[in-house]
Amino acid sequence: MKTGTNHDLFRQLPSVDEVIGMPAVRLLSDTYTRDSVVDAGRAVLARLREEITSGLIDENSLKPALSGLAGAIEVQLRESLKYSLRAVINATGVILHTNLGRAPLSDAAIDHIRETAAAYSNLEFDLASGARGKRDVHVDRLFQKLLRNGSSSEPRPRVSTIVVNNNAAAVLLALNTLAEGGEVIVSRGELIEIGDSFRIPDVMAKSGAILREVGTTNRTRISDYEAAITEKTRLLLRVHRSNFEITGFTEQASTAELSDLGHKRGISFMEDLGSGALFDLRSLGISGESGVLDSLGSGVDIVTYSGDKLLGGPQAGLISGSPALIARVRSNALFRALRVDKLTYAALEAILMGYVRKDHDAIPILRMMRLSQKEIDRRAQKVVDRIASSKLNIETIDGESLLGGGAAPSCVLPTRLLALTAHGITADELCTKLRACDPPVIGRVDEGRVLLDLRTVFPEQDAALASALARIAA
Ligand SMILES: *Cc1c(COP(=O)(O)O)cnc(C)c1O
């Protein structure tokens, strides 16, 4: 009997064309494209059919549902036309989380983008001469200030820097320019893959250079490099291992040794640094992660690094090194295909200015790294105090935050975590509920609990996080 009734109900449903023809729905076409109205109409009808099948809608409730059709279509339209890319609350404690957009931009960077990108700018225009200029100049001058001298008072040779789409592009472009058709010597311990299909052997092949592996996975000596040099050798390459570490019985030629060897044999030495910090991580108690200045200081001729890892800026690939080599890379026709937009230059210029002015706290990821466990605990405690519910169990516990982005993978920063359990639902379900909040809250599950780390939550998001928890607890 039930199926028979359903059949009658289905027959009362209008067709998509009939729905689109309704005057109230036709009005929506003034505000939205016809296709999006049709899609919304289809989705609403499909939902009605499902609700009839599941018995949610019967004879009595079908009429009101049909009279509310136009309203339902408008709600559906608004839902489906929300932005897909949205801000989320990163409570994972991973500061450079590639899936969550890596480094958040500073206010200064956003202001500078707004100022220059909402209008015309002198991106490639020399204001003094009125002639065509180069987009490189806006950030190269600041990189020069930051990379000229490190801790030593001795002036370093001049360094030039150019910008491409990301570090993968930087590596590709540099290899293609400096080694196409020739050999590049790399240690077997550095033939890495980092997330999302960046593999050194593959990038090498695409660049047209030939990979010459030396040494073993755990030990590569300077003599291994030396023995592999032939007249075909174009480059010595060192690659930051990023997401993994080799410990135990290991040996790695130092950058200074590689640089000496390169200079002795007239071969350039390149380092793919990956993260590329512009500040001294040792000041945060993080050791074993060398920065861009360390590389250049130990004799690397050309270094590639990301704009949105430890530098804390927009997605970009930076190539810094001796002006002669950089000029060659810059004149490669591929540069035009890999160059970046004015938005990136504006953001980078603002971030670099923060470094030159030593305004480190203006750079969000640096601020997060410098947060003390005590400060994080104070904020976590305030969140706990706001949740009074028997449904949600919440306490603070010691934990560890990660840098992420492949930098110093074994280095952790001590933090305080919110540890949550909820009655009647699993930790995974609780995590799903948190992701469904607006803004979505991203946490992690560990041993049956949901862990939230406020190190990566902006203090101005604490209230939103607390209300998300309060709503779940209610
Ligand atoms: C992250 C990383 C890359 C890729 O950088 P993107 O900016 O993500 O393209 C390349 N090499 C190393 C060593 C890295 O750590």
Rg over alpha carbons for the chain, rounded to the nearest Å, is 28
Closest atom of ligand 1 relative to the 240 alpha carbon? 13
Q: Do 398 and 429 belong to one domain?
A: yes
> Does residue 351 form part of some domain?
yes
Domain hosting 70: range is 3-80
Mark whether 213 and 324 lie in a shared domain.
Answer: yes
Do 386 and 347 fall within a single domain?
A: no
| Global confidence as pTM | 0.92
Q: Is 306 in the pocket of ligand 1 (CB under 6 A)?
A: yes
Answer yes or no: is 43 within a domain: yes
In the chain, DSSP finds a helix count (H) and a strand count (E) of 20, 18
- Look up residue 17 and give its amino acid: D
Same domain, yes or no: 339 and 235: yes
Inside any domain, residue 344: yes
Atom number in ligand 1 closest to CA 200: 11
Residue 38 lies in a domain: yes
* Residue 267 within any structural domain of the chain: yes
Out of 362, 387, 410, a domain closes at 362
Please indicate, yes or no, whether residues 319 and 355 belong to a single structural domain of this protein. yes
First to last CA, the chain: 41
Q: What is residue 409's predicted lDDT score, i.e. its pLDDT?
A: 76
328-377: pLDDT as tens digits: 999 999 999 999 999 999 999 999 999 999 999 999 999 999 999 999 99
Distance, CA 40 to ligand 1 centroid (Å)?
41
Are 115 and 232 within one domain? Answer: yes
CB of 166 shorter than 6 A to ligand 1: yes
Residue 152: the pLDDT is 57
On whether both 20 and 137 belong to a single domain, the answer is no
Clarify whether residues 333 and 446 are in a common domain: no
Q: Is 355 in the pocket of ligand 1 (CB under 6 A)?
A: no
Q: Does any domain span residue 101?
A: no
Q: Are residues 37 and 140 in the same domain?
A: no
Q: How far is Cα 60 from Cα 63, in angstroms, rounded to an integer?
A: 7
- Positions of the chain with pLDDT under 50: 1-2
Bridge partners (DSSP) of residue 271 are: 238, 303
Same domain membership, residue 303 and residue 172: yes
Nearest atom of ligand 1 to the alpha carbon of 239: 13
The CATH number of the domain where 465 resides is what?
Answer: 3.90.1150.180
Domain count, the chain: 3
333 in a structural domain: yes
In a domain, 148, yes or no: yes
Q: What is the pLDDT of residue 355?
A: 96
Pair 205, 115 in one domain: yes
Question: Distance from the CA of 326 to the center of ligand 1, in angstroms?
Answer: 19
Query: Ligand 1: does its nearest atom lie under 6 Å from the Cβ of 198?
Result: yes
Instruction: Count the Cβ atoms, other than its own, within 10 Å of residue 126.
Output: 12
How remote is the CA of residue 136 from the centroid of ligand 1, in Å? 21
Q: Is 160 in the pocket of ligand 1 (CB under 6 A)?
A: no
Q: Are residues 254 and 126 in the same domain?
A: yes
CATH number of residue 237's parent domain: 3.40.640.10
